[in-house]
Amino acid sequence: MGKTTGFKEFPRALPPRRPTAERIADHLELYEEWPRENVQQQAARCMDCGIPFCHTGCPLGNLIPEWNDLAYQGRWDEATRRLLATNNFPEFTGRICPAPCEVSCTLAINKDPITIELIEQTISDAGFANGWIRPEPPRTRTGKSVAVVG
């Protein structure tokens, strides 16, 4: 998974944050857009662990090493399918999940962990941009409302 020596070659990196004044005015993304090549480099840091603790750290049981590898290879369509196999809402979890998978990453024992949440967000965004993920509105409306609290 990833590049065998990627975790030694590439430090953890995140895109720059947008200025606070801009973010308050528009409520768009926290981070500036980042080239996919940078995300692929971060996916290359995945170590091919014997036991992928990131996978067990994820409450959804996401197949993180698998979609990290596909992202590293630039196979975004396959990465999207692999992500959707276990996650119905990657557009949310790639942005607001507290990322227990990153804390569980084996690399986090003595280095900064893989940027799993950023990779997930990029895969999801690529899926929507290319039509691999499409909204599925309900066929019939029930007239009931749902609230999310917390």
pLDDT for the residue numbered 64: 95
- What is the residue type of 41? Q
Domains of the chain: residue spans and CATH: 6-129 (1.10.1060.10)
pLDDT for the residue numbered 130: 97
pLDDT for the residue numbered 148: 83
| 110 alpha carbon, distance to own chain's centre | 22
Spatial distance between the Cα atoms of 72 and 39, rounded to a whole number of angstroms:
8
Spatial distance between the Cα atoms of 10 and 4, rounded to a whole number of angstroms:
11
Spatial distance between the Cα atoms of 41 and 72, rounded to a whole number of angstroms:
7
pLDDT for the residue numbered 1: 64
pLDDT for the residue numbered 138: 87
pLDDT for the residue numbered 144: 92
Helices (H), the chain: 6-9, 20-26, 36-43, 53-57, 64-72, 76-84, 90-96, 100-104, 116-129
The rounded average pLDDT for each run of 10 residues, N- to C-terminus, in the chain (150 residues) is 84 95 90 93 91 92 94 97 95 93 94 95 96 92 88
Model pTM score: 0.89
pLDDT for the residue numbered 55: 87
DSSP state of 105: -
DSSP state of 85: T
149 Cβ contact list (under 8 Å, min separation 6): none
pLDDT for the residue numbered 4: 82
53 Cβ contact list (under 8 Å, min separation 6): 104, 105, 106
